[in-house]
């Protein structure tokens, strides 16, 4: 392998500039859960370990270390959007993380999806720009097969309502997702009727991070999966339900994350 293409490995005590973490701090953790919102990091960590340890609070990255059945698991918020996700993955990979699970929210665009359901992304439409710095647009944003299969198995064990399929990832929350409740209410002509088109193409949901995660992980030979709780049913309303976000969506994504990570660890022989 060309020396320029050798994976970068941080020294044990090197603090990464954005996430504020070092290799030593994560204590050989190979898994990370990636909420977008820093305020969700603690609650997600504590579903694995009620005594999860706070590690760092740097920019949009808040992190905790949980010990689950003898295995350390990192939770680190990525912040909002694909560029932030890109920075997060780069620095986490450098300190040794191998398995990445995004735990977020999304808006559903298919009529059969209900509020609070969990979307498991098997692949993404790359409508964001960050991933284009890693691979040309023809390169697919595809979830890791085995890891995503573990997450699906976990969703079944948790008996949580879920749908596995394609997510469209955008850079903008309003215009990119054909929302008309923005400040001006105006959309460029090429953004109008986008939701109808993606629905016809069997896309399930909109989000703002998944395709960057899946593309980068594939390029870096890492494993990535994505789960999102549905907090807006776009065929009915553009409004986000905060009650659903803090209620059924949160409950479902927590159960799926717990059971999914457990299924992955069991498959790998880390736990029994």
Selection from 58, 50, 72 nearest residue 16 by Cα:
58
Q: Is 99 left (phi over 0), alpha (psi -120 to 50) or beta?
A: beta
Name beta bridge partners: 224: 100
Write down the catalytic residue from 102, 126, 179, 209: 179
Is 233 within 8 Å of 159 (Cβ atoms)? Answer: no
Q: Which of 60, 209, 234, 254 is catalytic?
A: 234
Active site residue 234: yes
Distance of alpha carbon 154 from alpha carbon 76, whole angstroms: 21
Residue of 140, 136, 209 lying closest to 176 (CA atoms): 209
- Show the 3-state SS of 95-157: CCCCEEEEEEEEEECCCCCCCCCEEEEEEEEEECCHHHHCCCCCCCEECCHHHHHHHHHHHHH
Catalytic residue at 236?
no
Q: Is the Cα torsion angle 26, 27, 28, 34 positive or negative in sign?
A: negative
Residue 179 annotated as catalytic: yes
Out of 18, 59, 266, 267, the active site residue is 18
Q: Is 146 labeled as catalytic in the residue annotation?
A: no
The one catalytic residue among 60, 91, 128, 178: 91
Q: Which residues are catalytic?
A: 18, 91, 179, 234
């Amino acid at each position: 392998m060309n020396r320029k293409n050798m994976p970068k490995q941080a020294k044990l005590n090197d603090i990464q500039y954005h996430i504020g973490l070092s290799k030593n701090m994560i204590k050989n953790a190979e898994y990370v859960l990636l909420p977008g919102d820093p305020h969700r990091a603690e609650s997600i960590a504590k579903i694995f370990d009620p005594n999860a340890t706070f590690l760092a609070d740097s920019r949009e990255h808040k992190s905790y270390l949980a010990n689950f059945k003898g295995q350390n698991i990192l939770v680190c918020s990525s912040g909002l959007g694909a560029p932030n996700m890109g920075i997060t993955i780069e620095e986490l990979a450098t300190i040794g993380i191998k398995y990445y699970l995004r735990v977020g929210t999304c808006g559903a665009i298919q009529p059969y999806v209900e509020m609070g359901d969990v979307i498991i992304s098997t692949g993404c439409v790359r409508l964001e720009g960050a991933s284009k710095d890693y691979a040309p647009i023809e390169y697919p944003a595809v979830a890791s097969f085995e890891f995503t299969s573990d997450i699906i198995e976990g969703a079944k064990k948790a008996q949580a309502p879920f749908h596995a399929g394609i997510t469209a990832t955008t850079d903008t929350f309003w215009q990119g997702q054909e929302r008309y409740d923005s400040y001006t209410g105006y959309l460029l002509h090429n953004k109008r009727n986008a939701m109808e088109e993606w629905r016809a193409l069997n896309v399930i949901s909109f989000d703002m991070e998944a395709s960057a995660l899946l593309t980068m992980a594939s390029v870096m030979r890492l494993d990535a999966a994505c789960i999102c709780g549905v907090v807006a049913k776009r065929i009915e309303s553009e409004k986000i339900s905060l009650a659903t976000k803090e209620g059924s969506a949160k409950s479902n994504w927590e159960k799926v994350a717990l059971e999914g990570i457990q299924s992955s660890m069991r498959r790998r022989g880390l736990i029994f």
